[in-house]
Amino acid sequence: MKDLHNDAASLIGEAEGISRRDLLKAALGTGFAAAVLPVSAETVVKTDSEGLTAGTVTVTVDGYPVPVYRAQPAGKAGLPVILVISEIFGVHEHIADVARRFAKQGYLALAPNLFARQGDPQKEASIADLQKNIISKTPDIQVFKDLDAIVAWAGQNGGSADKLGITGFCWGGRITWLYAVHNPAVKAGVAWYGRLLGESTPNTPKHPVDVAATLKAPVLGLYGAKDTGIPLDSVEKMKAELAKGKSGSTFVIYENAGHAFHADYRPSYVEADAKDGWKRALDWFKQHGVA
């Protein structure tokens, strides 16, 4: 499999005139991060690409080619757009599958490699290494700028600029809250167990609780009561700040779930809650004009 992947990468690289190193960075939607192995293969959901246009595109931001996994109904235009923001593990098989799930529902789904400049999350041996070497070095302002460019690209490549939604998991859940504040074009968001509080640093100057009162777009927060990294008191603080605004954002708390309950490739997966959350996410986007 490795040789086949490398041969394919070489051929595509020659065809597109890009370097092998850049091509491998762009090979999204394959494999899983070393930090989460072994994968719980018996629960992994696999969504095919029949009827879809799916694969990697690049969006240039300040001269840098940001790889994006794109999935959409083949031959369709004027599609509602969903930004799918990954966990700290990057755009691996699960995130690409989520993008295809949205595409099967009629969306142009875009899952960008927002860590491309900092490194490859899939190669880091542990979560601690991943946090130290990549995540802590990825500035929020860079992420927002990349997403702005990707939204603009979507509007020129089959997407409807008037129907923009965002969803994200873990690290991507935090970004979901923040980007919904940053970009007034976002009509709705769904944040899956994204951190709400945190230390202010040059790369992460604000967190969701800091901007909640200014949020305009409705965001649905899907969180687990047993999530030891995101205690329920932080959710209560977020609710109190949201109550100062008029976004209509709300939370669903799953009593039997911990962190990453939607991650079907990990032992943390809770099938019933993941399926319920997915249905709620689709309904939320339809309710708020993204579909």
Residues designated as active site = 170, 227, 259
Q: Which of 107, 85, 105 is nearest to 95 (CA)?
A: 85
The backbone region for 27, taken as left when phi is positive above 0, alpha when psi lies in -120 to 50, beta otherwise, is: beta
**Alpha helix segments (H runs only) across 70-139:** 93-104, 127-133
The pairing of strands 108-112 and 64-73 is antiparallel
Beta-carbon contacts of residue 208 (< 8 Å; ≥ 6 apart): 174, 177, 178, 191, 194, 195, 196, 197, 238
CB 21: neighbour CB atoms within 10 A? Answer: 9
| Structure tokens belonging to residue 30 | 């394959």
Rg, C-alpha atoms of the chain:
18
